[in-house]
Amino acid sequence: MGKIGLSVVILAKNEKDRISECIRSVSGWACEIIVVDDDSTDETRSIAESMEAKVFRKAMAIEGMHRNWAYAQAECEWVLSLDADERPTAELKAEIKAVLSANPPENAFTIPRRNFIGDYWIKGGGLYPAPQLKLFRKGKFRWEDVEVHPRAFLEGACGHLKNDLIHYTYRNWGDFLTKLNKQTTLEARKWYKLSADDPKKARYKMNIPHALWRTIDRFIRTFVFKKGYRDGFTGFMIAYFSSLYQIISFAKYRELEKNDRN
């Protein structure tokens, strides 16, 4: 296919089992492959270095800030942002090459993702096509500098690609719950910090009635309106676990408040 003027920036932490496949999926196609390693304690860095990727070691404190720093290391005009569990398909790579060769007026493109749990492709529940802004001109796009669910800020227009990015989202249900635990901890911290700056907003969002309503609402939206039922029992479990996000975040938020009072 030949290399194109594109920097692929891969974020990784303890991904020794997946980093080589991720790098291999873009090797020989992109002009530059960068791995930003979040203080891995396994062989992630050495594997990436052996595959001739540019490796930077930087601990992640705030997700949005961390991603923005990683993109700033790229040398090419265009950046494709990947996590170690993502792989572009051959069709997507061909589409990206064609789009960039045409010098598009857009400054960014969303890419549809196939999300997996284990080897199962999740088609319902809003998880497909679930387009993500992953391809952009350097300096024209950044994430909000917050710990969890950062907002995207883009200068100019955004286009939309048609071919898929493979995303091995969850290895198994244990991995799903591990990520849910991490995300709800960050969510609770976000609202705890906000309570000092805007206590009225924090009280409105983080209270028992609101948390219970969001729990029920998220399950109904995910399983019914976003057609999670198409995935059968898997779809039910995804909707159920996802619905717990708000109530678990609230419980952790209350725990932070209690510890502060003590």
Structural domain boundaries in the chain: 4-170, 173-261
- Out of 150-154, 167-171, 190-194, least confident range: 190-194
The closest of 4, 14, 147, 136 to 82, measured between CA atoms, is: 136
Q: What is residue 129's predicted lDDT score, i.e. its pLDDT?
A: 96
Task: Tell me the C-alpha distance between 7 and 204, whole Å.
Answer: 42
Note the pLDDT tens digit of each residue in 222-255: 999 999 999 999 999 999 999 999 999 999 999 9
Residues 113-117 have a mean pLDDT of 98
Q: Residue 65: is it exposed, middle or buried by C-beta count within 10 angstroms (0-12/13-18/19+)?
A: middle
- Report the CATH fold assignment for 4-170: Spore Coat Polysaccharide Biosynthesis Protein SpsA; Chain A (3.90.550)
For strands 120-121 and 132-137, give the pairing.
unpaired
Residues 9-18 have a mean pLDDT of 97
Note the pLDDT tens digit of each residue in 40-64: 999 999 999 999 999 999 999 889 9
Distance from the first to the final alpha carbon of the chain: 62
Q: What is residue 2's predicted lDDT score, i.e. its pLDDT?
A: 63
Residues 22-42 have a mean pLDDT of 97
1 pLDDT exceeds 80? no
Based on C-alpha coordinates, what's the Rg of the chain? 20
122 pLDDT exceeds 70? yes
Q: What is residue 197's predicted lDDT score, i.e. its pLDDT?
A: 84
Backbone angles phi, psi at 132, to 5 degrees: -125, 145
Residues 79-99 have a mean pLDDT of 98
156 pLDDT exceeds 80? yes
Residues 20-24 have a mean pLDDT of 98
Q: What is residue 37's predicted lDDT score, i.e. its pLDDT?
A: 97
Give percent of the chain with pLDDT exceeding 70. 99
Q: What is residue 209's predicted lDDT score, i.e. its pLDDT?
A: 93
The closest of 114, 148, 152 to 133, measured between CA atoms, is: 152
- Out of 45-49, 159-163, 167-171, 204-208, least confident range: 204-208
Mean pLDDT of the chain, nearest integer: 94
Going by C-beta distance under 8 Å and a sequence separation of 6 or more, which residues neighbour residue 127?
Answer: 115, 169, 238
